[in-house]
Every structure is written in structure tokens, then in C-alpha cells.
Structure 1
Amino acid sequence: MDEVVANAEREASLKTLGHVSYLLHAIVAVSALLPGAQASIGLLLIAFIIDVVKRGDAVGSWQESHFRWRIRSVIFAGLAYLLTIPLWLLFLVPGWIAWTLISIWFLYRIVRGWSALNSNRALPA
């Protein structure tokens, strides 16, 4: 019985962390799409660090996929932003278009993941 309670508490704690992480990701992604509303990259780093540090706690649970999803989302978006910096430096409009598309993709990943978390569903690998 104690093990069942401990697992339930662990799942609830991980789900709360997931909500906090998705919220921080969402704030950054939405602000990236709204002119003049840039959120700090610090929020994204806080969420990323939480995910990396707490990832091990989710091993073997359905929530493990959410940690992987969020970590990969940040890494892939970060790489895409870095790779498209030359577009900003050389051509302003293509850079803006590229970063807008990356931000939309990132926001899609957040919405899809957060929706699955709310439904207690794992995400694909």
C-alpha cells in the first residue's frame, strides 16, 4: 500500500513539474511570436535545467517521454535558431520568416506535449 501511495505522489509531483516546464516553454514561445513581447531566455533555461535534472525521476513512467520531448524541443529549436542567425545578419526578412516558423514549430510541440500531459498520455519517441 505504501508503494502505491509513493508512486501516486511521484506521478503527481512529476506532473506538476511538467506543467511548470510547459508553462515556461509556452511563455517563451508565445512571446517569440508577438512583436515587442520577448520573454527572457532565462525562463527557457530554467525549464530546460528542471527537465534535465528531474528526468531521472521519471524513468519507467509514462512521463519519461515528456521530459525527453521537452528537452529535444529546446535543443532542436535552439539549433535551428543558431543555424538561421546568418539569415538575420545578411537578410532581415528571411531571418524573421525562419525564426517565426521555428517559433510556430516550438509552440506546436509545447501544445501537443501539454495536451498529452493533461490526458496522462505518453508521447512518441
Structure 2
Amino acid sequence: MTNDVVAAAEREASLKTLGHVSYLLHAIVAVSAVVPGIQASIVLLLIAFVIDLVKRGDALGSWQESHFRWRIRSVIFAGLAYLLTIPLWLLFVFPGWIAWMLISIWFLYRIVRGWSALNSNQALPA
């Protein structure tokens, strides 16, 4: 094998490992948002988000690029949804709780779907 092929294989393996770490951190936060009594720190999500932002350039042109985009968009969309539903908490506690639970379930779904695709070496849709 040539040095280029070896380097590309090592890059793919490194990005996949990084993807597993990022999905794990996302999953810890997502599960803790859905399961009552468990609270993970938002810091874990921010760490994963920053890692994804910093390392996404390394995945350009590979099937793993879609995973970086998927994780980044998942965090941004969930964050915006949480912010937009804050008034429900201020005006009516129960609808706010339902809204946040639905957002959390959606976020958990995104993490499970993405991690499953990563395990299968599959790209995610744009």
C-alpha cells in the first residue's frame, strides 16, 4: 500500500473514533434530558459541539462529513427549539414540559440514527 492510502485509512479511522466520542457525549446529554432524575451537564454537549466544529474540516469530501453536519445541525436546531419554547415554561409549566420532552426525544432520535449510520459506515442525508 502506498503512503497516501495508509494516510487516508488512518484519517478515516481517526474521524470515526472522533465520531463515536462525539455521539457518546451527545447521547449522554440526550438520554439525561429524557429520563427523569438524570441530569448530565450541558458542558458535555458543548465539548462535543466544539469538537465537531473544529474537526469538521478534516472530514471534507468523505462520507463522514455528513455526520459532522448532522451533529452540528442537531445541536443548533434543538437549542433553537428549546429557546423558542421558553415562553411556554413561563406562562404554562405543563405545555413547556411537553414541548421540551418532545424536543429531547427528537434530539435522542437524531443521535441514535446518526450513530447507527456511523457504525454502518454510511453517510447521512443532507
Do the two structures share a fold, i.e. TM-score over 0.5?
Answer: yes
**RMSD between superposed Cα atoms in Å:** 0.4
Please list every run of 5 or more consecutive structure 1 residues that lacks an aligned counterpart in the other structure.
Answer: none
* Distance in 1, Cα, partners of 2:56 & 2:68: 6
**Over residues 105-125 of structure 1, what are the superposed CA-to-partner deviations in whole Å (9 max), with x where a residue is unaligned?**
000000000000000000000
TM-score normalised by L of structure 1: 0.99
**Pair 1:29-2:30 in alignment:** yes
Partner AA of 2:91 in structure 1: L
Aligned to 2:61: 60
**Pair 1:93-2:79 in alignment:** no
* Distance in 2, Cα, partners of 1:91 & 1:41: 24
* Distance in 2, Cα, partners of 1:75 & 1:10: 26
* Distance in 2, Cα, partners of 1:90 & 1:14: 44
Equivalent pairs, count: 125
* Distance in 1, Cα, partners of 2:118 & 2:11: 15
Q: CA deviation at 1:36?
A: 1.8
TM-score normalised by L of structure 2: 0.98
The within-5 A match list for 1:104-115 is 104-115=105-116
Q: CA deviation at 1:35?
A: 1.4
Please list every run of 5 or more consecutive structure 2 residues that lacks an aligned counterpart in the other structure.
Answer: none
The within-5 A match list for 1:6-21 is 6-21=7-22
**Over residues 46-75 of structure 1, what are the superposed CA-to-partner deviations in whole Å (9 max), with x where a residue is unaligned?**
000000000000000000000000000000
* Distance in 2, Cα, partners of 1:124 & 1:36: 34
Aligned to 1:42: 43
Aligned to 1:5: 6
Aligned to 1:76: 77
**Pair 1:119-2:125 in alignment:** no
In structure 1, the residue corresponding to 2:28 is in which secondary structure? helix
- Runs of 4+ aligned residues of structure 1 deviating over 2 Å after TM superposition are none
